[in-house]
């Protein structure tokens, strides 16, 4: 399952479970929608920055009109090898807060577990095959998460 599909499925499943068996967790003194909205915006901003870096690194050349895939190592990729997944996790946390659902919050566990044990190892193996020593140096210098 693609990470974005998993992310949406976890939000939807958590929301539906919350409709059936509400499990609020946000203290009353906080405004869940405003607080969650901040996390959602931060998460989407991180994803947006990562996508912007990917687009800039892999933009078609002016000479040929085609792009040559390049290992993205700049911008938010200098801090983490997986900024999109971090952004998605922060946004998932934001949705959990915004709808005050412990079910959605619990979705963070399978989300990051599946990423760490299925998706990312496959992606890293492909990057190592494609970029060789360049990816080896990058992964030695930049952490997987933060």
Q: What was the pLDDT predicted at 1?
A: 80
CA nearest neighbour of 146 among 78, 49, 45, 54? 78
Q: What was the pLDDT predicted at 30?
A: 78
Q: What was the pLDDT predicted at 63?
A: 62
Q: What was the pLDDT predicted at 105?
A: 97
DSSP 123: H
3-state DSSP helix/strand/coil percent for the chain, to nearest 5?
70, 0, 30
Overall pTM surpassing 0.95 (yes/no): no
Q: What was the pLDDT predicted at 61?
A: 55
Specify whether the CB–CB gap between 57 and 72 falls below 8 A. yes
Tens digit of pLDDT per residue, the chain (146 long)?
899 999 999 999 999 999 999 999 988 777 899 999 999 999 999 999 999 998 877 755 566 666 667 889 999 999 999 999 999 999 999 999 999 999 999 999 999 999 999 999 999 999 999 899 999 999 999 999 98
């Amino acid at each position: 399952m693609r990470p974005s599909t998993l992310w949406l499925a976890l939000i939807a499943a958590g929301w539906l479970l919350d409709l059936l068996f509400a499990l609020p967790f946000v203290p009353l003194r906080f405004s869940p929608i405003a607080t969650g909205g901040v996390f959602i915006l931060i998460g989407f901003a991180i994803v947006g920055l990562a996508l912007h870096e990917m687009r800039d690194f892999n933009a078609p050349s002016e000479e040929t009109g085609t792009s040559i895939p390049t290992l993205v190592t700049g911008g938010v990729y200098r801090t983490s090898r997986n900024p999109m997944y971090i952004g998605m996790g922060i946004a998932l946390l934001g949705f959990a807060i915004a709808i005050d659902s412990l079910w959605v919050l619990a979705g963070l566990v399978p989300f990051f577990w599946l990423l760490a044990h299925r998706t990312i190892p496959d992606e890293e193996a492909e990057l190592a095959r494609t970029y060789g020593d360049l990816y080896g140096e990058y992964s030695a210098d930049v952490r997987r998460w933060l």
